[in-house]
Structure 1
Amino acid sequence: MASTIFITGVTGYIGGEVAVVFAEKHPEYNLVFLVRNSDQAKTVKARFPSSETVIGDLDSHDILFEQGKRADVVLQTASADHIAVGESIIVGMAQGKKGHYIHVSGSGILHDVTNGFGNPSSKIYHDTSDLAAITSFDSSHVHADIDASVTAAGLKHGIPTAIVSPVTIYGVGRGPIKTRSLQIPFLTEAIIKRGKAFTVLEGNNIWDNVHITDLAEAYNVLTEEALKLNGGKSSWGKAGYYFVESAEHRWKDVVTELARIAHQKGAIKSAEVEKLSVEDASAVHPWAPLLWGGNCRSRGDRIRALGWAPSARKIEEYLPEMVDFEIKSLGTQSSATIF
C-alpha cells in the first residue's frame, strides 16, 4: 500500500520544493497537500495531478486532526512559529496510523551577538554533541518554545517527532506558487530600493547556508527513514533535531557580491558598500539585525549520518539569478533606482 504523506506549506518556498523532490523521487507516494482555497488547489493539482488537496489553514483543527489520522508521515513546512497546527495533527496521528511528524524550524534559534552585531563568533553548534544546549534554549531564542512544544506533544501522544532546522536558504525554488527565499531576497530588495549596499556594522558575522533543493533532499532522506521499520537509523523525539547546512558565508562577502552584480545589471548606481549602525540598518529593514547582523553557525551531523550530502553549487554562484529575480519583481531592470 502506498504511503500517505501529508504536507502543509506546499504553496510556500520550502514545502513547494519538497513536493517537487517527492514527486520526482517517489511517484508512489500518496501526497496530500493542505491549501487555503480552491484557486491554490487548482494550481497545486495542475502541478501534481496525482496528488490530493484539502482546503483549510493552520487553525483548521478538525481537518488537521483527520489528515493526521491518515498520514504515515507529516511534514509541517508552513510555519516555524504556529503552536496549534502541531497539536492538532499530532493528536490525530495518535488516533490513526501513529506515523512520524516532521516540523520546520530555523537556525535563527542560534542567533549569536555575544561579540556584538557585525562581529564573528567562534561557537558552532552540532546537532549531536550540542543537542542538550540546543533543546534547552529559553523562549528568548527564536523558535525555541515552538520546537519544545512539538517535542513535548509527540512524547505525550506517542508520536515520533523531528525538528528540521535549515539555515540561510538560497536559490530560486521550483514549487507551484512561492519560489522566493527570505534573507538574501530581502537583502537584495533592500539594497536596490535604497540604491546602495550595506552591512550591519562590519558585516563579519557568519551564517551557514544551504540550497533549497539540498534542503528538500534532506526532507526526502528523513522521510525515507521514517517509513522504514522503527524509523530506520533516524533519531526522533528528544534526539530528533536536524540542522541542514552545506557551507558558511560572511554577510560582508555576500553583500559585496550582491552590490557588484546589482551595479553591473544597472539596478544601483554604485557597487560601494556602506557600514550602517544597528539603528540605521533597522531603519532600512526592521529585521536587519536579526537577518544580517548576528551569527548562526551549525553542523548537521545527524542528517549526514543518514547519507545526505549537499550537491548544489556554492551560494556565490546563485547570486546572479537571485538578483535577477528581485530586479524583475521590482521592475528596476537596467535603471538605477534610489528611494
Structure 2
Amino acid sequence: MSSKIFLTAATGYIGGTVLDTLVKRHPEYSITVLLRSVPDYFAERYPNVCIVRGDYDDTQLIADTAAEHDIIIHGGKPKHIPSLKAQIAGLLRRGSCRAGAGFLIRLAGTGIIADWQSDTYHGKLNPKIWSDITDIDEITSLPDDNLHRPADKVVQTAAVSHGEKLKTAIICPPGIYGPGRGPGNTRSLLVPEMCENMIELGHGFYAESGANRRSWVHVDDLAQIYLKLVEAAMEGGGDAVWGKEGYYFASTQEVSQFDLAKEASRILHAHGLIPTAEPKSLSANTVREMRGGSSWEPMGVYTWACNTRTRADRAREALTYAPDAPSLAGALEGDLLDAIEHVKLHGPTYCPDLRL
C-alpha cells in the first residue's frame, strides 16, 4: 500500500511551497491538507489533493485524520503544541492496514539557538555557529525557555518512547526569503517586516554596530529538505536520520545586520522610497520596541539585534542537500518590491501607521 501524506498549513508561506513542491515533483503522491478556508482556485490548481476543513484547534479531527495517514508534515504554527500532540496520537493509533512506522516532520526554527535573551551580543558578533551534528546533544537539552524547545521536546520524547512505531524529524530553518509558490501567502516574514520599518523610519537601520549575523535560506531550498525527507519516508526511512538526531538546520548563507541594512537601504533609496541610502545605527533598546509580525516579545531584539548562526550539516550529509536557489542578495530587491506592492494593495502588515 502506498503511503499517504497529511499536511497542515497548506496555504501558508512554507506549507504552501512544500505542497506545491510535492505535487509537482510527485503527482502520484496521495496528499490530504488541513484548511480553515479553501482558496477559490485550490481545486483547479490541485485537483488530486484531498481537503479536510478545520484549524489547529480541531485536535480530534487532526488526530483522526493523522490515524489514516503515514506521513505527517506539521507545516505551520510551530509552537502550537496541542495540534502537534494530536498528530502524534493519530500516528500511534494507525489501523492495522497501515503497515510500518508513522513519520512526523515538524517545522521549528532557529529561534531555539538565538542569543536574544542576554544583551552580551546584541548588535555584536557571536562567534558560535551551531551544527546540527556536532552540537546535537546541546541542542536537544536546551532550557525550556528557549524558543521552540517545549514543542521540540514533545516530538523527541514521543520518538524515544515509541521506537520503531514513530519516526520523527525536525526541520529548523533560519530567516527565509524568496517568493512562496503555494495557494495562499507567498510572502516571507522578515524582509517585508524590515521593509515596512525602514520606510516608516525614513532610513535603513541596524542595532549598535550591526555585526550580529543571521543565517538565511531561500524558501525553495527549504522545500527541498522537506521533499528529501518525504521521499525517504516513502522508502521506510531511507538514508535520512530520524528520532533525537533527526534535526535539520537549513541554512545556506549568513549575513550581518549591517550588510543587510546597507543593501536594503540602497535598493529602497534607488526606488525613491526613503530619502537616504545610508542606514543608521539604533540602540538595542530602540529596536527592542520596534513593531514586528510575531506574537511574542521582544520581537525587535530577536529580529534585528541577535545572532542566529547555523550550518545545515545533517541535511548535506544525510540528504545530499545541494541548495541552488538565488542568494539573499540576489533575491532581496524582488522581495522588497513585492512587500511594497502588498502594502499598496492591502495596507501594512507590521507597521499600522505606514502610508505609501
TM-score (normalised: structure 2)? 0.89
C-alpha spacing 1:30/1:338, structure 2 compared with 1 (3 Å): closer
Tell me the distance in 1 between the aligned counterparts of 2:180 and 2:224. 13
Which letter maps to 2:176?
Answer: I
How far residue 255 of structure 1 moved from its aligned partner, in angstroms, is 0.9
CA shift for structure 1 position 246 = 0.7
1:288 aligns with 2:288: no
Residue equivalent to 2:309: 297
Mapping of residues 160-199 of structure 1, within 5 Å: 160-199=167-206
Q: Cα RMSD between the aligned structures?
A: 1.7
Aligned residues of 2:69 and 2:91 also touching (Cα < 8 A): yes
Return the letter of the residue paired with 1:58. Y
Amino acid corresponding to residue 201 of structure 1 in structure 2: E
Q: Deviations for 1:185-242, whole angstroms, at most 9, x for unmatched residues?
A: 211111112221111111110111110000001100011111113x111111111111
Q: 1:203 aligns with which of 205, 210, 213?
A: 210
Q: For 1:3 and 1:140, how far apart are their aligned partners in 2?
A: 36
1:174-195 Cα offsets, whole Å, 9 max, x none, are 1111011111221111111222
In structure 1, the partner of 2:160 is 155
d(CA) in 1 for partners of 2:336, 2:27: 33
Please report how far the alpha carbon of residue 116 of structure 1 lies from its aligned counterpart in structure 2 after TM superposition: 2.3
Secondary structure of the residue aligned to 2:172 is strand
| C-alpha distance after superposition, 1:159-180 (max 9, x if no partner) | 1111100011111111111011
Aligned residue number for residue 136 of structure 1: 141
Contact 1:225 1:234 in 2 (8 A): yes
Q: Name structure 1 gaps, 5 residues minimum.
A: none
Partner in structure 1 of residue 71 of structure 2: 73
Map of 1:260 onto structure 2: 266
**Change in CA separation of 1:92 and 1:311 when aligned onto 2, cut-off 3 Å:** same
Contact 2:67 2:93 in 1 (8 A): yes
Match of 2:348 in 1: none
Equivalent of 1:125, from 119, 125, 130?
A: 130
**Alignment-mate amino acid for residue 292 of structure 1:** W
How far apart in 2 are the matches of 1:274 and 1:338? 21
SS at match of 1:145: helix
Consecutive unaligned residues of structure 2, counting only runs of 5 or more, are 293-298, 346-353
Shift, 1:338, TM fit: 7.8
Q: After superposition, what is the alpha-carbon deviation per residue over 1:119-144, rounded to whole angstroms, capped at 9, x for unaligned?
A: 01111111111100001011221111
Asked whether the equivalents of residues 191 and 336 of structure 2 are also in contact (C-alpha less than 8 Å), the reply is: no
- What's 1:110 paired with? 113
1:277 maps to 2:289: no
Q: Residue 300 of structure 2 aligns to which amino acid in structure 1?
A: A
Q: State the match for 2:349 in structure 1.
A: none
Q: Per the alignment, in what secondary structure is the counterpart of residue 10 of structure 1? A: coil
C-alpha distance in 1 between matches for 2:41 and 2:209: 44
> What SS is found at the alignment partner of 1:325?
helix
Of 89, 100, 103, the match for 1:100: 103
Partner of residue 295, structure 2? none
Equivalent AA in structure 1 for residue 92 of structure 2: A
Any conservation in 2 of the 1:100–1:226 contact (CA below 8 Å)? yes
State the match for 2:150 in structure 1: 145
Structure 2 partner of 1:213: 220
Q: Matches of 2:289 and 2:240 in 1, distance apart?
A: 44
CA contact (8 A) 1:10 1:16 kept: yes
Q: Which amino acid letter does the alignment assign opposite residue 147 of structure 2?
A: V
CA distance in 1: counterparts of 2:173 and 2:181, whole angstroms: 18
- Judged with a 3 Å threshold, the aligned counterparts in structure 2 of structure 1 residues 155 and 43 are, in CA distance, closer, same or farther, namely farther
Q: Does 1:330 align with 2:330?
A: no
- SS of residue paired to 1:160: strand
SS of structure 2 residue aligned to 1:331: helix
CA distance in 2, matches of 1:91, 1:284: 39
The farther-off stretch of 254-263 and 104-113 is: 104-113
Once residues 239 and 315 of structure 1 are traced to their aligned partners in structure 2, the CA distance between those partners, rounded to angstroms, is 29
Farther-moved stretch of structure 1 (279-288 vs 43-52) = 279-288
Amino acid at match of 1:289: V
Q: Percent identity?
A: 34
Instruction: Between 279-288 and 304-313, report the one with greater CA deviation.
Output: 279-288
Shift of residue 283 of structure 1? 3.0
Return the offset for 1:272: 2.0
Q: 2:80 maps to what in 1?
A: 82
